[in-house]
Structure 1
Amino acid sequence: MNDFYRNKNILVIVTGSISAYKSATLVREFVKSGAHVRVGMTAAAQKFITVQTLAVLSKHDVLTDLFRDEKAAVTHIEWAKWADMIFVVPATANIIGKIANGIADDAVTATVMASPAAKVIAPAMNDVMFNNDAVVRNLNLLKSDGWFIIDPAIGFLAEGYESQGRLPEPVTIINQAAIRIQARGGELKGKKLVITAGGTREALDPVRYLTNRSSGKMGYALAQVAAELGATVVLITTTKREELYGVREIVVTSTRDMHTAVVQEFSDADVFISSAAVSDYRPASQAENKIKKVGHENLTIELIQNPDILSDIGHMKKAGQIVVGFAAETQNVLASAQKKLSKKNADFLIANDVSNVDSGFDSDNNKVTILSRDKDPEKIELLPKIDIARAILDRVVKTLA
């Protein structure tokens, strides 16, 4: 659930596409996120999904007719002023052309034209139509006018083949729009952040490896918030989770792979956040074939140290660069984290007790203590990881200011 939309006024405009059925889920997700939702529908949209369905889900009457009663002529002005954001989902070539060229000949286009709200449009149509010169030109006009364009996905189209033109899933639209709207005036605009996520894997043989329970959720939360704040974000990760708009992912496997990628990306970065759970050791050698248990009843594996990514970057940083580390501990959490803060030359150290069952590894929540060089430790009680990420990046923003 995206709390960016809580208490926001959202106007959803539905047009005549086969994917109009997804607008029901879109409205429901907005309502679940705490938004106030109203819906406008074109005449063509009503051929694909009923007015009653969207009225029930939004808990409001649906705007369909500019002249339905004596008040209707001004209803679109009231709705236009009411809306904080307008989502045209799905958007046909017809509605794109009308809005781009200033045509307001029905209730929904008149409302859109009269509103100063942030505007998001998600095209959905046949791939040939989507690539038509007129549609491309009209979308570019909307983009230059400040609209946020959610590109269609590649998928199975109504015509019976796969290509680009399919409406993305509603949750994808909601999350991508939140990032893009917030990023426009973000406090990290013009800054580059390098973030690591997941647990590294060290191969024993072609089948087995040493790893840990890290899910990468904390790293992805940090990447999302950084993108929301307008940063250029590079996420170096061992795990593939949800795709984040505006985030460049580099997928790696081992600690050495991650070390190489971080060193390369950090050279022109403003901030490095080491949230990955990195394997401190790796097998001294990797078996060429799968190790059989026959003849190895007391197997001994020799381990050697991996490079210390946080320490290397901490001692590599130049003036103006910020380094944030994580200390995943199971005992003496604060004492151990305080030593790491100094030893690894980090600016911030995020300490968390990963032995807790309600937070840490593979949980949606976390509770941490933020350590820094010049302030007392700051304890943050149990919160969703996205909120922990916002707290951490708030400190980073203030330090960069």
Structure 2
Amino acid sequence: MVDGGDPGPGDLRHGPVPEHPRRRGQHGAQPAPAADRPGPAEGGDTVTATPLLEVEDLHLSYELRDRTVHALQGATLHVGRSEIVGIVGESGSGKSTVARAALGLLPWGVAHITGGAIRVEGADVTRFGPRQWPKLRGHPLAMVFQDPLSFLNPVVRVGRQIAEGVAKHDPGADRTRRVAELLDLVRLPAEVAQSFPHELSGGMRQRVLLAIALGCRPKLLVADEPTTALDVTTQADIIALLRDIRDTLDLSILLISHDLAVVATMCDRIYTMYGGHTVETGPTADVLRRPGHPYTYGLMQSARAVRDEHGRYATIPGQPPNLAVEFPGCPFSGRCPVEVEPCGTRFPPSARVSGAETHLAWCWRLVEQHAGDVAVTA
């Protein structure tokens, strides 16, 4: 275990870590075995090796001047070796916050972890200080952001920016040769190294960011909406490139997206987040074939380009929850078409969907089906 060290302004934790009721087998319902550790894609063997990244029942708040925003109220996920794992959910669901928390990229003194754990290769990093985080970023974890122009230096040539990561994480390498190798890996010509970011297209800039991240030799690449601002053809190219890189370098990818089509194409497993909670997880094919949580189903319906008899596209009625309020029940309560009595007052334990061991959802309807000692009334 990594020593916490460097308490104070660099420490994301804020006060003692309370025991969250979801860990105590609440209301007599027993979570499914290995609830937070589903196996790899396609219903394969259960993960036995230490995951590269584990987020366990994470609670994180932003302490603002006039209010507290409870950005995460129970986020859970893990990424194993050589996996591509997706996180889906609408804006504000907590997808990017989870990723940035894992790399210590949240604002010091504002973001505070109040419960749960983040483990990188088995080491709890939630007590890392400012001198420890740089040792984690780049290797073993690297991140690619959705807006390259915001993260590339406009007055520095691309080759030099790639070389900076190489110099830090691979100091013995020939930088010129390594930059050329990385540009070739992301399918860019070598002469791009002499270009400034504004001279490149959006897709080329995204590939440059990818080359910078790969220059650090990461074990896990976090891709935050990497195709959002790109046209459809370029999106397809980036998706294919990411899959090829995973196969070539044998690294893992955590893909954050609101685009179900992209996630369905790329990912081995999916996590659905809503209101700061993880509400469903499972192999991609299982989740898309039979979503277990009403919110996941609503997302899938909304993604379909099909109009109803009134000429309207499917939408999820209502508004997302106010994260300035800690909600005791399911955050989807009030928008859910199949809501039952406990939904607004108690967050459910996980339950298997249609008997699949690795396909889980946190929904009282499923708990009712799998736990006879839970009283649920329609």
- Does the alignment reach a TM-score above 0.5? no
Which protein shows a greater Rg?
Answer: 1
Larger RCO: 1 or 2 (CA < 8 Å, sep 6+): 2
Structure with the higher fraction of residues in helix conformation: 1
TM class by shorter chain equals under 0.3
